[in-house]
Amino acid sequence: MSISKTYKLPFIVLVLVLFVCFVININLGSVYIPLKDVFNSLIGSDTNVEAWQHIINNYRLPKAITAILVGSGLGISGLLMQTLFRNPLAGPFVLGISSGASLGVALIILGSGLFGGLFASFFVSKWSIVIAASLGSFLVLLAVLTVSIKVRDTMAILIIGLMFASITAAIVSVLSYFGSAEQLQQYIFWGFGSLGNLSWNELFIFAVIFCFGIVLSIVSIKSLNTLLLGENYAISLGLNIKKSRLIIIAATSLLAGTITAFAGPIAFIGLAIPHITRQVFNTSNHKILLPAVFLFGAIVMLICDSIAQLPHSDYTLPINAITSIIGAPVVIWLLVRKQKMVF
């Protein structure tokens, strides 16, 4: 109880910052829309220009919500992986989750030639890409889980995850080699990541799966804290390691899998947000870390998206590049300043 009291102020500040970032994100875009019209559009009354209403309600608002889900979800799955493997380099992508998703998407886009004309055009729709990405990450995860039942060592699982990533990357290379220019283009575009391409329906499904992942992570808080003490110690405290591991991996896969499916592979956030949070909050208690990572992830993603949109210019940058360009120096700066890693 006393712990949460200490952190009350930072949490209030973070929530306020998140709200401000959310409003700024919706207000800023390629097209200049006065704040008054933004609010008018949000409450459903008419705007000065007809097109603005569609931009606010169906482009910027879902994009901002997607940014929050993507940032917080990736941050949390990064935190779960780092604690589970007790490795500061772990992230949602390390277990091969993102590679699995990439493989699924590559099979659908680049391998469509193998299926033939009509069949292929039916399959290369947005939903097929979402399903393929989820299936891909799920299957890779299933393979890792099967191995993890036999192998007790988490480091071994980490390496097996990396090996799976290598295998999938190799298959993607082979598929790319045989893919046509258009297919390669489509696959590369997917790789840029995209927040602004979800309709409300898609966003709803995304949010439902996302909530499942969050619930599973909240359930794992206790075991995560115990795991920090080391696996053997955790066992001696009566923790069912296999079950906890399964829940944590399932939560990560749900979060990172759907995010990659809907928004493409977004780099850096999953790895760095937990580190930024630990540096700022200086704690390893997951009761604090989990909500803090959620807020930090959402805020950073909203800021990255606002930058990627290059406000008031007609141009836009791929979100995947911005997250790393903006984010990595922040982590370096934090580490240099504190001179040690909180882990």
User: What residue type is 145 in one-letter code?
Assistant: L
List the one residue from 97, 248, 319, 322 that touches another protein (CB under 8 A). 319
Tell me the window of 156-164, 177-185, 224-232, 283-291 that interacts with another protein (CB under 8 A). 177-185
Q: How far is the CB of 91 from another protein (least distance, A)?
A: 22
Distance separating alpha carbons of residues 80 and 75, to the nearest angstrom:
9
Structure tokens at 85: 């493997």
**Closer of 2 and 313 to another protein (Cβ):** 313
List the one residue from 58, 176, 225, 283 that touches another protein (CB under 8 A). 58
Q: How far is the CB of 314 from another protein (least distance, A)?
A: 4
If we measure between CA atoms, which residue out of 164, 158, 143, 156 comes closest to residue 99?
164
Distance separating alpha carbons of residues 91 and 259, to the nearest angstrom:
14
Tell whether residue 75 is a contact of another protein (CB under 8 A).
Answer: no
Q: How far is the CB of 287 from another protein (least distance, A)?
A: 36
Q: How far is the CB of 166 from another protein (least distance, A)?
A: 23
Tell me the window of 131-139, 163-171, 192-200, 250-258 that interacts with another protein (CB under 8 A). 192-200
List the one residue from 7, 11, 59, 115 that touches another protein (CB under 8 A). 59
* Cα distances (angstroms) measured from residue 207 to each of 68, 69, 262, 326: 10, 7, 11, 26
Tell whether residue 54 is a contact of another protein (CB under 8 A).
Answer: yes
Cβ-contact 221, 290 below 8 angstroms? yes
**Closer of 30 and 283 to another protein (Cβ):** 30
User: What residue type is 146 in one-letter code?
Assistant: T
List the one residue from 87, 176, 197, 285 that touches another protein (CB under 8 A). 197
* Cα distances (angstroms) measured from residue 146 to each of 152, 163, 202, 246: 11, 15, 31, 10
Cβ-contact 144, 150 below 8 angstroms? no
Tell whether residue 34 is a contact of another protein (CB under 8 A).
Answer: no
DSSP label at 86? T
Tell whether residue 29 is a contact of another protein (CB under 8 A).
Answer: yes
SS3 per-residue string spanning 120-184: HHHHCCHHHHHHHHHHHHHHHHHHHHHHHHHCCCHHHHHHHHHHHHHHHHHHHHHHHHHCCHHHH
Cβ-contact 74, 90 below 8 angstroms? no
Q: How far is the CB of 31 from another protein (least distance, A)?
A: 4
Taking residues 106 to 145 in sequence order and writing x for each that binds another protein by CB under 8 A, - otherwise, the string is -----------x---x--xxxx------------------
Distance separating alpha carbons of residues 119 and 181, to the nearest angstrom:
19
Cβ-contact 23, 64 below 8 angstroms? no
Tell whether residue 71 is a contact of another protein (CB under 8 A).
Answer: no
Tell whether residue 185 is a contact of another protein (CB under 8 A).
Answer: yes
Cβ-contact 63, 308 below 8 angstroms? no
**Closer of 108 and 158 to another protein (Cβ):** 108
Distance separating alpha carbons of residues 322 and 333, to the nearest angstrom:
17
Number of residues that bind another protein (CB under 8 A): 40
Tell me the window of 19-27, 181-189, 228-236, 328-336 that interacts with another protein (CB under 8 A). 181-189
Distance separating alpha carbons of residues 331 and 28, to the nearest angstrom:
26
Binding site for another protein (CB under 8 A): 29-31, 49-52, 54-55, 58-60, 117, 121, 124-127, 177, 182, 185-186, 189-190, 192-197, 199, 264, 309-310, 313-316, 318-319
